[in-house]
Structure 1
Amino acid sequence: MSSYNHISFKPIWTIGEKTIYELGQCEALILTLSETPIFPNYRRQLLHVSLVKGAQSTTAIEGNTLSEEEINELIEGKELSPSKEYQAQEVKNILEAFNNILTQVVDGDRPLLSLDLIKELHTKVGKNLGEIFRAIPGQFRKENVVVGKYRPPDYQNVESLLNELCHWMKSYFHFEKGQSFAETVIQSIVSHVYIAWIHPFGDGNGRTARLLEFFILLRAGNPDFASHILSNFYNETRPEYYAHLDKSTRTGDLSEFIAYAVKGYLDGLKKVMATINKSQVEIFWRGYIHDTFSHGPLTAKNENVNKRRRNLVLSMPYDRPVSVEEMTLLSRELILIYKDLSDKTIDRDIQELLRLELITEISSNRFQINQNILKKALPRKAQKK
């Protein structure tokens, strides 16, 4: 095994100041994401997107061409064309693996890295893939292979190398004794790379490595709806992913790969946080509207009229103006309410919302929710120069 100089089971990496800072930002975002209540529909949407993007990304890296739309169809129980049956099964396996791991971790089953765990993950990857999948699911390879220009370790050494990897993960990263957030992230990335290096299976090693990375992050408290981030980042930056993996293989130094992965992790968390912020804006806005119609100086005494006007403003989008014609078509409920009402009634409703300063007229007959209300709800701070 001495010829595998890059597989040293030693912390051959340096975490630079920038990466340390980014890990701190990641930890702060994870804490915020984990403790911020969001509407159930936003949570369902986030988790759904996470599963779809995660499955699409980790299989796309290996050549799967299914689109997010097609994966959505699979989730809905629809069948794809026979020519895409194999690719559909690949994605189904990853979706099932994500859900199983999530259930396992949430239920409190958080095992340490072991040969059985690695085999179990590979079994999920290769389920029902038949002979096209160049491996027996859950069994280590029985022959030597070449991956591009890379020659992985002799198959006879696979089990002993994985045993050493598991022992090193336990002693160096000490999950059962408690570990810092930074240690968790680094362990997930290092485990991913080592599985790629050892290449224990005839096929499906990349997907198994990324499932292991996902498991380690989830086990340590990564929110379920942020589970897709690294796989999605690797897929979106595929040339960089392979370039960093190749360089780390040649040098045995994981510094650049870790820095690359942490940056992608941070960027992904920021995107998830932006979606969460939208939920918080909706919570505030709904509360403000309900408070206005409960305690504000309303011109109408009829409860149904005020309810109609309240529903109208609540249906308006936050980020764009809408025309008068579009306003009454924003939801099925509004369509049914306004279909038998006159233009004068619609105009009176709009005028009341303007009077209450809940909406503003952007241009002729185009209206938007009053952004100043949202801005005033934010903390005051110095303007950037």
Structure 2
Amino acid sequence: MKIIIEKYPHISFLPKWELKEDTVYELGQCDAIIKAIRNIPIRPEYRKVLLNVSLTKGAQSTTAIEGNTLSDEEVEKVNEGIKLPPSKEYQETEVRNILNALNELLREVAIYNKFEIISPDLIKRFNYLVGKDLGDHFQAIPGKIRDCNVNVGTKYRPPDYHDVGPLLKQFCDWSIKEFHFSKGQNFKDSVIQAIISHVYIAWIHPFGDGNGRTARLLEFYILLRAGNPDIASHLLSNFYNETRNEYYRHLEKSTKTGNLSDFLAYAIKGYRDGLNNILELTQVDQFKTSWANYIHEIFRTSKIKSKNENLNKRRRNLILSIPIFKKFTIDEILNLTVDIAATYKILSQRTLTRDLKELINLELLRNEQDKYWANIDLLLSFFPKKLNK
């Protein structure tokens, strides 16, 4: 085995990376953000939306890196079981394979609490999930170690096919020893293992096709196994796709040097930023829920001048329909929803003006000149102010 490794100096099976101070800090942030996401109550219907976005975005991103051109809307159709035109059938199958793989692994880990250590058979299974039913559009037998030499573009020649089997086994053995999942693994080691495994599979290139998708699926699995929220399933694949030139540059650089410090710093920063976005989405939804609850509470209090239940219901529905974080003219409010438009068409715009005035009196709405907006400052004022240091 030593002779084989000497042929490929970048595939050293040694911890050839150092975490910079910023990267260590960002890893700590990732851990804290994930804990915060777990502690935020998310409405089931909104969580379903976030999970759906995560899965479709993950599938779109990892296949787009390999040349799939389906749009977000088309990937959403695939996820809904809608057939695309025959000319896009193989791209549809590529995306469906990833969607099915992500869902299958989510069920195993999140529902059945089934975890596996990294093994050649597991990685072969992932490649099979990636390539099945693609026929001639997948230039290999899915799940089978390659039996010929290949080139990756014009800059990288992966290991000789005779060496791939031993290298893959050595990678798995080293991964078990280096990252000690079965003996207990902290969050930092899990993230590092996921990213390092991604790069090693790209280096070894064990299959005739689908190596990139397999590498990113393995990365996804290790993060999921470590407790990455399912609604954040797509983050790294999406980041790699959005920064594709940087992704390729860091892969190429790590291949030349065998050092993974810069790739880790690049990936962890993207992971941290993605988690922040997920946290913000969940916080905004929680805030919207609190705002809606506050509105209902106001209309149950003695502040309400009118005892006319229908009138109060109309005004309550009006303020509930006005999105937060945005200002509107009266004409824009009139056309916010079909129900609002229909209601005030029957009544009058003057009635709408009176209703808006009453909402201002209730301090649920604010206005300036010709603009109106939800007075969410009422809730924000309940948050403790940051202490000046």
TM-score, structure 1 normalization: 0.96
Q: Distance in 1 between matches of 2:349 and 2:14?
A: 75
> How far off is 1:267 after superposition?
0.9
> How far off is 1:373 after superposition?
1.2
1:202 paired with 2:208, answer yes
1:11 paired with 2:15, answer yes
More deviation in 63-72 or 369-378?
369-378
Question: Any unmatched runs of 5+ in structure 1?
Answer: none
Q: Distance in 2 between matches of 1:179 and 1:285?
A: 40
Q: Distance in 2 between matches of 1:186 and 1:38?
A: 29
Q: Distance in 2 between matches of 1:231 and 1:47?
A: 15
Give the match for residue 161 of structure 1: 167
> How far off is 1:335 after superposition?
4.0
Give the match for residue 101 of structure 2: 97
Give the match for residue 314 of structure 2: 308
Give the match for residue 327 of structure 1: 333
> How far off is 1:100 after superposition?
0.7
> Secondary structure, in 3 states, of the residue corresponding to 1:360?
strand
Give the match for residue 125 of structure 2: 120
> Secondary structure, in 3 states, of the residue corresponding to 1:325?
helix
Matches within 5 A, 1:61-72: 61-72=65-76
Moved over 3 A (4+): 331-339
> How far off is 1:28 after superposition?
0.3
Matches within 5 A, 1:68-79: 68-79=72-83
Q: Distance in 2 between matches of 1:367 and 1:40?
A: 31
Letter in 2 for 1:202: G
> Secondary structure, in 3 states, of the residue corresponding to 1:221?
coil
> How far off is 1:336 after superposition?
4.5
Letter in 2 for 1:256: D
Which of 55, 58, 66 in structure 2 is aligned with 1:54? 58
Matches within 5 A, 1:1-385: 1=4, 2-106=6-110, 107-148=112-153, 149-364=155-370, 366-381=371-386
> Secondary structure, in 3 states, of the residue corresponding to 1:368?
strand
Change (3 A) 1:296 1:269: farther
More deviation in 339-348 or 3-12?
339-348
> Secondary structure, in 3 states, of the residue corresponding to 1:297?
coil
> Secondary structure, in 3 states, of the residue corresponding to 1:294?
coil
Q: Deviations over 1:164-202 (max 9, x none)?
A: 111111111111211111100000000000100100000
State whether residues 299 and 352 of structure 1, in contact with CA within 8 Å, keep that contact through their aligned partners in structure 2: no
* Aligned CA-pair RMSD: 1.5
Q: Distance in 1 between matches of 2:382 and 2:203?
A: 51
> How far off is 1:273 after superposition?
1.3
> How far off is 1:307 after superposition?
1.5
More deviation in 55-64 or 324-333?
324-333
Q: Distance in 1 between matches of 2:271 and 2:292?
A: 32
Q: Distance in 1 between matches of 2:347 and 2:328?
A: 19
Letter in 2 for 1:329: N
Question: Any unmatched runs of 5+ in structure 2?
Answer: none
Q: Deviations over 1:34-53 (max 9, x none)?
A: 12111223212211111121
Q: Distance in 2 between matches of 1:63 and 1:98?
A: 19
Aligned residues: 383
Q: Distance in 1 between matches of 2:151 and 2:348?
A: 74
> How far off is 1:130 after superposition?
0.6
Q: Percent identity?
A: 55
State whether residues 291 and 376 of structure 2, in contact with CA within 8 Å, keep that contact through their aligned partners in structure 1: no
Q: Distance in 1 between matches of 2:388 and 2:244?
A: 38
TM-score, structure 2 normalization: 0.95
Letter in 1 for 2:51: L
> How far off is 1:91 after superposition?
0.7
Letter in 2 for 1:130: G
Letter in 2 for 1:82: P
Q: Distance in 2 between matches of 1:192 and 1:125?
A: 15
Q: Distance in 2 between matches of 1:132 and 1:288?
A: 55
> Secondary structure, in 3 states, of the residue corresponding to 2:148?
coil
Q: Deviations over 1:7-29 (max 9, x none)?
A: 11111100111100000001000
